[in-house]
Amino acid sequence: MLHLAVSALAWLPRGGDHPGVWATVLDWNSWDAGHYVRIAESGYHLGPGFPAFFPLYPLLIHVVNAVVPGDGVVAALLVANLAAIGALAVLHRLAEHEFGPRVAQRATWYLAAFPMGFFLFIGYNESLFLLLAVGALYAGRRGHWWLAGALGALSSATRLFGLLLIAPLAVEYVRQRTLKGIRADVLALALVPLGVVAYSVYCAIELGNPLAFSIAQDQWGRRYTFPGGAWITAWQQMSGPLAPATLGALVDAGTTLVAVVLLVLAVAGPWKFRRDQLYLVVHAGLTLVLLMSTEVGGRSMQSAARYSMEAVAVLLVLARAGARPMVDRVVLVTGVSLHAVFLVVFMSGKFLVA
C-alpha cells in the first residue's frame, strides 16, 4: 500500500509521460530493472555491459513471461514480489529460530520498512537474492547442508556476492561438526560457486569468453579498492552541500556507517550475539567490507544503501533493540519516512538511489 500511495504522488508532477496506472509500473522499473527485462526478452547479445547482470533473475522473468499475460515488466514485478514475500517469510523463520517470535516479527517489519526496502518490490533482483541467501543461511543453521548448498548455488547465479555465503556456511558447519566429525555433506559447501561456474560456461559458449561477466563490469565503471578505501573516495567526491554527488555519497556512506555500528553491537554490548551465532556476524561483516571497497560508475559505494539490507545480522540487532517501545517507534517511523522519500527520488529518475 505504501508503494502504491507514494508512486501516485511521484507520478503527479511528471505530467503523465505514460497514461494511466501503467505509468506507475514503468516508473517502478527504471535503471537496472530495464536491463533485466531486456535480457529476459532478447538475451545477452545486447552490448558489452549486459553480461554483468547475472542470469537467474532474467531467466525467471523469461519463464514467467511465457505463461503470464502482459510483457516482461509484469513478469519482472511478479517474480520480484513473490520473492519478496518469500524473503520476508524466511527472514522471520531465521530470526524466530535465533531470538524468538517477537524479534522475528520486528525484523520482518524493519526489512519491509527499510529506507531502500522498495527495491524488494520493483523489477530488481534484490528480493530474489535475499530470499536465496537468507534461505541458505537458515538451511545451514538447521543442518540441511545439501539444501543450503543448492540455495547458495542459486544465489551465486543471481549475483556474484552469493559467493560470500561459503564463509558463513563453513563457519557454521565447523561449529556443528566439531563434536560429531566431518561427514560427506561437507561437499555441499562446494555447491555454492556452481552458479558462477555455470554462468561462466554459458559466457564461454555464447559470448566467447568465460569471464565476460567480469569484463562487463568495466562498462559500468566498477572497481575495487582496499577494504574501507571507498570511505576516502566518498569524502573526496563530496562537493557542495546539496550537490547530487554529495547527497549520493551521504546516502550510501551514511547507511553503511549505521550498518557497521549495528554490526559492532552484535559482538559487543547489550545485544551481543551468542558465540554459536558467529555465522551471522561473518556473513554481515563480509558483505559490509565488500561494500566499503567498491566503486561503480565513478561513485564510491554506489548502491551500498540497498545492498546493506542483505547483512541480516544488522536487522536482527535492530530488532532486538526494538524491544524498547520508543526504539521500535523511532525505527519504524524513520524507516517508513525515508522509504517514501527515496522511492519518490528513485521514481523521479534521480541517480541518487539507483
What would the pLDDT profile of 48-104 be if each residue is shown by its tens digit? Answer: 889 999 999 999 999 999 998 878 888 999 999 999 999 999 999 999 999 999 999
Nearest to 161 by CA among 213, 83, 90, 88: 213
Query: φ, ψ for residue 47 (rounded to 5)?
Result: 160, 165
Mean pLDDT of 105-121: 93
Distance separating alpha carbons of residues 61 and 75, to the nearest angstrom: 5
pLDDT number for residue 11: 39
Distance separating alpha carbons of residues 64 and 311, to the nearest angstrom: 29
Over pLDDT 70: what percentage of the chain? 82
pTM assigned to the model: 0.89
Domain ranges of the chain: 31-220, 223-323
What would the pLDDT profile of 193-214 be if each residue is shown by its tens digit? Answer: 999 999 999 999 999 999 999 9
CA torsion 244-249-252-254 (nearest 10°) is: -120
- Tell me: pLDDT of 229 over 70: no
Residue 281 contacts residue 335 (beta carbons within 8 Å): no
What would the pLDDT profile of 311-333 be if each residue is shown by its tens digit? Answer: 999 999 999 999 999 999 999 99
Distance separating alpha carbons of residues 48 and 208, to the nearest angstrom: 12
